[in-house]
Amino acid sequence: MTDSKYFTTTKKGEIFELKTELNSEKKEKKREAVKKVIASMTVGKDVSALFPDVVNCMQTDNLELKKLVYLYLMNYAKSQPDLAIMAVNTFVKDCEDPNPLIRALAVRTMGCIRVDKITEYLCEPLRKCLKDEDPYVRNTPAVCVAKLYDINAALVEDQGFLEQLKDLLSDSNPMVVANAVAALTEINETSSRPLIEMNTQTVNKLLTALNECTEWGQVFILDSLANYEPKDEREAQNICERITPRLAHANAAVVLSTVKVLMKLIDILPRDSDFIAQLIKKLAPPMVTLLSAEPEIQYVALRNINLIVQKRPDILKQEMKVFFVKYNDPIYVKMEKLDIMIRLAHQANIAQVLSELKEYATEVDVDFVRKSVRAIGRCAIKVEQSAERCVSTLLDLIQTKVNYVVQEAVVVIKDIFRKYPNKYESIISTLCENLDTLDEPEARASMIWIIGEYAERIDNADELLESFVEGFHDENTQVQLQLLTSVVKLFLKRPADTQELVQRVLSLATQDSDNPDLRDRGYIYWRLLSADPAAAKDVVLAEKPLISEETDLLEPSLLDELVCHIGSLASVYHKPPSTFVEAAVPLRKTLPKSTVGGSEEPSLIGGTSMPSTQQTTVIPSQDSLIADLLSLDLTPHPSGGNSHQPYAQSAFSSGLDDLLGLGSDGLLGDSHGASGLGGTASPPSVGFGGGVQPMVGMAGAGALPFGAPTLPMGGMGGMGGMGGGDIGGIGGLGDIFGGITPAAGSGYAAPKQIWLEAARSKGTELQGTFLRRSGQIVMDMTFTNRAMQALSGFAIQFNSNSFGLAPAQPLQVRPLPPNQSADAALPCKTDGPVQKMEPLTNLQVRIHFYSHFRFMECRNSL
Amino acid sequence: MIGGLFVYNHKGEVLISRIYRDDVSRNAVDAFRVNVIHARQQVRSPVTNMARTSFFHIKRGNVWICAVTRQNVNAAMVFEFLNRFSDTMQSYFGKLNEENVKNNFVLIYELLDEILDFGYPQNTDPGVLKTFITQQGVRTAGPVTKEEQSQITSQVTGQIGWRREGIKYRRNELFLDVIEYVNLLMSQQGQVLSAHVAGKVAMKSYLSGMPECKFGINDKLTIEGKGRPGADDPAKSTRTAVAIDDCQFHQCVKLTKFDTEHAISFIPPDGEYELMRYRTTKDIQLPFRVIPLVRETSRNKMEVKVVVKSNFKPSLLAQKIEVRIPTPPNTSGVQLICMKGKAKYKSGENAIVWKIKRMGGMKESQISAEIDLLSTGAADKKKWNRPPVSMNFE
């Protein structure tokens, strides 16, 4: 039995030959011919010309032949709809066949033929099959209804197939139930309105069927259970109890789907109960066992474990060792294991982790080695006690002189310096020795940052930087920006002998460069330095906020969504399904008690998608810039009150006059006072947002001293070291204009409204209202921190508005740890600058806090 | 759900292509070939997303099996399915390779029609499939009685999908094998970093009728925490307590019963199957210690010395020991001296295979090898990643 010969016929006139063979009287020859046709079809040859001849072979009692003809039909019926009708009779006849296998086959195949005329004929047999006595036959139309729904949804609803499908949920055969569930889930996802409601009764039926159906059926049922929200804790607990035995199933998909349902239900159960503790204990071993499955399944499991570890670090914290990399793991498994190792690293196991990582750094695969070196740095930042050892490990690695290891090590050492400033300086000399080997932009930029930061301790810092300046124009933008900042730092620290250098760099950056970001930054430094060196020092050498401990964490709202998708593709990509699937209805799942509201895209995406809606703005030539800005300041911008226009305007990405806009705010701020911003406040402030974006692209640290100068001088006092480069701005402009909610305030104490949504502002939620207390207007606000790090240093500023509303005293809000909220009442006076707003009740308020910058607008009738 | 399924040979030619859903077009076939099979770099992930289409692939033998989808499918399920599909093919026609796939393409299409409907996996148990998808099409050729048909179908969908009714044996037999793999991670200093035993219970049953089998579970052997059952391990019955971290069962095992009564209760499939897998991490005594010594004497010479020490009781005996010592790919010749057993350099496998018939407990044996290396300019630069020495024994 060598069917491979069918693959080798490539003669000319083949089609003709096949035709005669297909019409041959001999059954054997016919069968051979059909096989040849299928083989050519597989390879991608077009054999649709044979359609009528193949269809003629359909009436046969040979099941094998029949199946092949059906296969051919499924492939070509669409291209030959008229001819396909010829087959209908045979199909209908087959649907009546005494043999259940043939009945099922006929219905199944008919469902796959996407030709309208055939679909019409499908309804009748389908209805019969739904009530067939044989479970094997009943099983098929369950899926067939889903197929039909895909072709013609209206028809399915008209014919009442959905009702019949629902009846199948109570079928005596578990496999029929499972397929019906799968079909219903799919129909539910594609239709605009929910077609079936899950209730306690159906859930109970499903749970019963769960114990008896095939492994795939169990996956379907579990996946649909994940969409069900139990009414109360008892029901949730009941479901948990009934599905936990599935964790011992041999099929990884069953295990992961069970984990998904459990993870979702845990949130509903009362916190800290024994039941949860027990459940969590049961979750860990099956997940570890998944790591001895096939590598592809391991990969899926690891991607999911990565999510679970972020959501509930306690589940796997004891299991560090199983994530140690094996030599024969495929590279994708190694990379994922490494990621999880870092997440699980803590003080108790850090020694082991480090020795492993050091081992990995000598592996063969370049990417893996790089990631390992980076991981060592992350350990140092995460576990303070280990920093010393991490640094010495990194030094050892630098001594190996392997080019990419050294470069990677330099990058992480920069991060370590940021976390532990003024420590471990002794290694700087070693780093300087390896200056020549660095050829990647990121490594060069990091090295330059280190030199700039510790300029006073490196004797030949000026020479080193000078050597970089030699080839300024050949450098990557990232390096150029960093070089500029570092030279300015050097100048501020050692003004005596570096004046020439700084002037050279500034002129290189401003005059000889085509890069707007670079030019802008150059101009700002230049003005700062020439206007007030002392202020420049405050700004450029300002204290930097420490970088956060955990890196690469997913946004909490995204994480919650992904937890609902455990086991699925979304969890493998770590992206919400909407980003890679075209769905008719964007379906967004969140955890039951999750507080993240709105159907807004996560703000990560927000920033980048915005420029598409921008207006085109001509970038003014350099000379006219200042004039432009002056006029900006003096003429009230007509769109100042309308939130949408500046929003659009702000989106131009070049950031050229945005940045300068800020710079001149600073310069002009003195004369105009804070009120100088006036009605035009929005364009400059937006400009800042635009300016932040390019900064994000730079080596994190370098951006900081740069982000700082604009603000204090702009009269927005009290918010010196914004974490701009690090975190701010990622959300882009959307953040700044977050929460534009018209407050339809009626009466004195209008209920608090959400002015700023957490999802749009990287985790800060602000609710508020205006009310009158003993004759004074009070702005009553609740701040809620939904971000991952603490917020502090709150300050508020009102833009000029129609009522002259202004804060009577500074905003008093205590520092906010993550996931807590604070109330604040801000008494207001009405003697501030008055500016007519459009509409009249428009009020723009800026809230600042450490590490972020928010601009919000509230309209209120007072 | 799965939109289409393709099988390629190692050159990227399509051997099997079956499309289940309308959203996947034939172009996907080429997209995968160009971007994954013919990709310049090593494949970095078993899942690839191109133009909103996701490709899942596994490689078995010299064929690629690839599932395509445009939906947010259950990724674990797709990979489980692909593995099961390849297992099923293997149980039909042996080794999975290009030649066999071509020879059996009609059969594979029949299988695909049966095990996947509209992208939803159906019953994939080879035992059941064999009852109605036969290589020769015998069943369909002869007249089939109605009873027989309904028997087949009820079995396909029935609760006990893995066993036929009316099996009869003159002698009822049940064989049980326990196979354990010790996975060990050692530091350079010879310190054990992590060790775990992955074991499986393989069974062969030749029993008549519909027997329900039950394995007693020794309740003493529970894992810490209440309600967590442990399993009695027949192979280690000499030792009283074996703590099992986790176990997985064949789908014939009633999981709910296991949870409540700690009994493995099941109706066995006919023939060979894997009843359970388990994993333990505690009290692992290594039966052997392998100590390798590698010295690079010059640019094209290397010395390897491997010492094997048996660590078990002197009364026990290990049989058919096989130690595999990997060698660099540019090895040109090997001189071997070993104290015991036979050793041979197998150039095709890039390894020295050292076989010892039997070895008592608490003994030591040694092999030393001198490896001549070819100096090939380019290959030299790429470091040899020194795969570990592995060993097998009974």
The H or E element containing residue A685 is helix A682-696
pLDDT (0 to 100) of residue B154? 57
Are the C-beta atoms of residues A481 and A448 closer than 8 Å to each other? no
Q: Which among A752, A739, A768, A728 has a CA at the least distance from the CA of A856?
A: A739
Q: Cα–Cα distances in Å, from A374 out to A368, A407, A579?
A: 10, 10, 28
Distance between B264 CA and the closest CA of chain A, angstroms: 12
DSSP A828-862: EES-S-B---SSTTEEEEEEEETTEEEEEEEE---
Chain segment A372-388, per-residue pLDDT in tens = 988 888 888 888 888 88
Distance between B360 CA and the closest CA of chain A, angstroms: 30
Distance between A92 CA and the closest CA of chain B, angstroms: 19
Residues of chain B with C-beta less than 8 angstroms from the C-beta of A344: none
CA distance A417 to A415: 5
Q: At A109, is the secondary structure helix, strand, or coil?
A: helix
For residue A358, what are its two tokens? 């050091």
Q: Which among A701, A211, A715 has a CA at the least distance from the CA of A452?
A: A701
Output the average pLDDT for chain B.
Answer: 77
Match 């026609």 to its residue by tokens: B93
Distance between B359 CA and the closest CA of chain A, angstroms: 28
Q: At B369, is the secondary structure helix, strand, or coil?
A: strand
pLDDT (0 to 100) of residue A521? 87
Point out the residue among B72, B81, B248 whose CB comes nearest to the CB of A568.
Answer: B72
Q: Which of A6, A45, A215 to mutate to test the interface with B (most CBs of B within 10 A)?
A: A215
For residue A785, what are its two tokens? 């921190």
For residue A34, what are its two tokens? 């059909």
Pairing of β A852-859 and β A741-742: parallel
CB–CB of A219 and B1 under 8 A?
no
Answer yes or no: is B344 a known binding residue.
Answer: yes
CB–CB of B383 and A42 under 8 A?
no
- A680 vs A73: which has the higher pLDDT: A73
SS (H, E, C) B296-341: EEECCEEEEEEEEEECCCCCCEEEEEEEEEECCCCEEEEEEEECCC
CB–CB of A580 and B54 under 8 A?
yes
pLDDT (0 to 100) of residue A790? 64
Res. A857 pLDDT band, cuts 50 70 90: very low
Q: At A763, is the secondary structure helix, strand, or coil?
A: coil
Distance between B77 CA and the closest CA of chain A, angstroms: 5
What pTM was estimated for this model as a whole?
Answer: 0.71
Residues of chain A with C-beta less than 8 angstroms from the C-beta of B75: 300, 567-569, 571-572
How many residue contacts between A and B have a Cβ separation below 8 Å?
Answer: 276
Output DSSP code: residue B188. Answer: T
ipTM of the complex: 0.79
CA distance B227 to A277: 13
CA distance A720 to A710: 9
Residue A727 has pLDDT above 60, yes or no: no
Packing angle of the helix pair A215-225, A174-190 (nearest 10 deg): 40
Q: Which of A119, A214, A275, A365 to mutate to test the interface with B (most CBs of B within 10 A)?
A: A214
Q: Give backbone dihedrals phi and psi of A113, rounded to 5 degrees, phi first.
A: -90, 110
pLDDT (0 to 100) of residue B123? 80
Answer yes or no: is B381 a known binding residue.
Answer: no
Q: Which of A6, A10, A63 to mutate to test the interface with B (most CBs of B within 10 A)?
A: A63
Q: At A789, is the secondary structure helix, strand, or coil?
A: coil
Residues of chain A with C-beta less than 8 angstroms from the C-beta of B49: 573, 580
CA distance A521 to A544: 18
Mean pLDDT check: name the lowest of A522-531, A749-758, B31-40, B110-119.
A749-758
CB–CB of B81 and A248 under 8 A?
no
pLDDT (0 to 100) of residue A360? 86
> Which segments of chain B have a pLDDT < 70?
134-161, 164-165, 187-190, 216-243, 282-283, 375-386
Residue A603 has pLDDT above 50, yes or no: no
Q: How much is the average pLDDT of A467-495?
A: 84
- Count of CA atoms in the C-beta half-sphere (13 A) of A616: 1
CB–CB of A1 and B135 under 8 A?
yes
Q: How much is the average pLDDT of A573-587?
A: 70
Residues of chain A with C-beta less than 8 angstroms from the C-beta of B68: none
pLDDT (0 to 100) of residue B55? 92
Distance between A190 CA and the closest CA of chain B, angstroms: 11
Chain segment A319-348, per-residue pLDDT in tens = 888 888 887 788 899 999 998 988 888 888
DSSP A443-482: HHHHHHHHHHHTGGG-TTHHHHHHHHHHTGGGS-HHHHHH
For residue B4, what are its two tokens? 């289409």
Q: Which of B71, B81, B100, B192 to mutate to test the interface with A (most CBs of A within 10 A)?
A: B71
**Beta strands in B339-384, from DSSP E residues, in sequence order:** 342-346, 351-360, 364-373
- Percent with pLDDT over 90 in chain A: 3
pLDDT (0 to 100) of residue B379? 45
Residues of chain B with C-beta less than 8 angstroms from the C-beta of A67: 109-110, 113
Output the average pLDDT for chain A.
Answer: 71
pLDDT (0 to 100) of residue A311? 87
Distance between B171 CA and the closest CA of chain A, angstroms: 30
CB–CB of A296 and B70 under 8 A?
no
Q: Cα–Cα distances in Å, from A538 out to A505, A529, A575, A712?
A: 21, 11, 41, 10
Residue A445 has pLDDT above 80, yes or no: yes
Chain segment A137-177, per-residue pLDDT in tens = 887 878 888 888 888 888 888 888 888 888 888 888 888 88
CA distance B372 to A243: 59
Residues of chain A with C-beta less than 8 angstroms from the C-beta of B157: 135-136, 139, 173, 175-176
pLDDT (0 to 100) of residue B8? 92
Number of residues assigned to chain A: 862
Q: Which of B8, B118, B223 to mutate to test the interface with A (most CBs of A within 10 A)?
A: B118
Answer yes or no: is B146 a known binding residue.
Answer: no
pLDDT (0 to 100) of residue A854? 47
Alpha-carbon dihedral sign for residues A646, A721, A388, A392: positive
Alpha-carbon dihedral sign for residues B329, B330, B332, B336: negative
CB–CB of A112 and B118 under 8 A?
yes
Mean pLDDT check: name the lowest of A484-493, A585-594, A624-633, B324-333.
A624-633
CA distance B282 to B198: 12
Res. A297 pLDDT band, cuts 50 70 90: very high
H helix intervals, A783-829: none
CB–CB of A281 and B153 under 8 A?
no
Chain A residue with the nearest C-alpha to that of B68: A569
Cis bond upstream, residue A286 (ω within 30): no
The H or E element containing residue B176 is strand B173-186
CA distance A856 to A852: 13
Residues of chain A with C-beta less than 8 angstroms from the C-beta of B43: 332
pLDDT (0 to 100) of residue A629? 37
Residues of chain B with C-beta less than 8 angstroms from the C-beta of A579: none
H helix intervals, A383-440: 387-399, 403-419, 428-433
Q: How much is the average pLDDT of A99-109?
A: 83
Sequence-distant (6+) residues with CB within 8 A of B223 are: B229, B230, B243, B244, B245
CB–CB of A582 and B70 under 8 A?
yes
CA distance B384 to A125: 64
